[in-house]
Amino acid sequence: MDNLKVDLSTCLGKINLKNPVLVASGTFGFGEEYHSLIDLNKLGGIITKTVTFKPLPGNPPPRLAETSAGLLNSIGLENPGVDRFISEKLPFLQKIESFIVVSIGGESEEEYCMVAKKLSQAQGIDALEINVSCPNVKQGGYILGKSAKNVFGIVNKLKNVTSLPLIVKLTPEVSDIVEIAEAALQAGAEAISLINTLPGMAIDVNTWRPKLGGITGGLSGPAIKPVAVKTVWEVYQKLKCPIVGMGGIMNFEDALEFVLAGASAIAVGTANLIDPQISIDIIEKLERYLVKQKIKKFSFLIGKVKTA
């Protein structure tokens, strides 16, 4: 039975992935930064840093602060802007065999649409992740992501300017995450990404100053995993929709928790900064797990948590 041929492929609506392991936005640059450390072609997909219409310088340093079981970041969506992304970053990504998802952001619905329109005219992009929940900026998309009405509106407008599949990235820092996820799906999103980082703060007790130049930042890593797993389970129970689960995935067991809770795919974030090979390790261990359990298709595991 050790020779059992297993199928790691998975679907996010109309999106077909060769395996369910992606790398999360903001932790993997634009792919090229990792190409000497990992075989990018083995990944299920790469989600790029968030791209905006104009270049953004990001927040002042320090931008990272380690916390108990987590990492605070206040990058502030630093990026070269959509035009330079297309001319300077996309050519490398076009050579990769893995699924390419470009994360996009903006200070208004119009900016999201302008970015999406430009990316739709480029080659080599398979989907867009709509970042409406970044805690490191004080305006724009982060505010949009807290309202079901606003999320519906922005996804609806994006559907009018691009034929690329849309994945909407949400924060659990809302009163009803299911309502917002449902609004995104009703407007035409293929899948939901759960969850973005949680807002947090750290203070240096010697200087009495915040440890981040932006004062507050986004908390990622193991500390947020229980919140993320619960959010995925909650949305899947109500909507049975395609979900990309993320938030504190450090190993294969963490990834499997998200799948059993209802994620059709997972994205590895902070762990990339510790071990660039972790995503490949998860893929290999997932395959061995399926063989050991005599399960032919990965998709069988989705949402199989036993609560009764």
Which pLDDT tens digit goes with each residue over 16-39? 999 999 999 999 999 999 999 999
Is 241 within a domain? Answer: yes
Three-state DSSP at 269 gives coil
Residues in Cβ contact with 121 at an 8 Å cutoff, skipping those fewer than 6 apart = none
**Catalytically annotated residues:** 134
Span 234-265, pLDDT tens digits: 999 999 999 999 999 999 999 999 999 999 99
What is the distance between the alpha carbons of residues 21 and 286, in angstroms, rounded to a whole number?
A: 10
Domain enclosing residue 19, as ranges: 10-58+77-198+221-301
What is the distance between the alpha carbons of residues 24 and 280, in angstroms, rounded to a whole number?
A: 14
pLDDT at residue 62 is higher than 80: yes
Is 94 within a domain? Answer: yes
Number of domains in the chain: 1
Q: What is the mean pLDDT of the chain?
A: 95
Is 208 within a domain? Answer: no
Is 249 within a domain? Answer: yes
Which structure tokens are listed for 279? Answer: 């995503």
Instruction: Identify the band that residue 142 occupies on the pLDDT scale cut at 50, 70 and 90.
Output: low
Per-position DSSP letters for 43-74, written without gaps between them: SSEEEPPPB-SS-B--PPSP-EEEETTEEEE-
Q: Could you tell me the CA-to-CA distances from 146 to 133, 184, 221, 294 in Å, in that order?
A: 8, 12, 22, 42
Is 20 within a domain? Answer: yes
Per-position DSSP letters for 181-210, written without gaps between them: HHHHHHTT-SEEEE--PEEEE-EETTTTEE
Is 2 within a domain? Answer: no
Answer yes or no: are the C-beta atoms of 50 and 134 closer than 8 Å.
yes
Is 286 within a domain? Answer: yes
Q: Is the pTM of this model over 0.95?
A: yes
Amino acid at 178: V
- The CATH number for 170's domain is 3.20.20.70
What is the average pLDDT across 101-119?
Answer: 96
Is 160 within a domain? Answer: yes
pLDDT at 31: 97
Q: Which of 20, 24, 241, 14 is nearest to 126 (CA)?
A: 14
Answer yes or no: are the C-beta atoms of 182 and 7 closer than 8 Å.
no
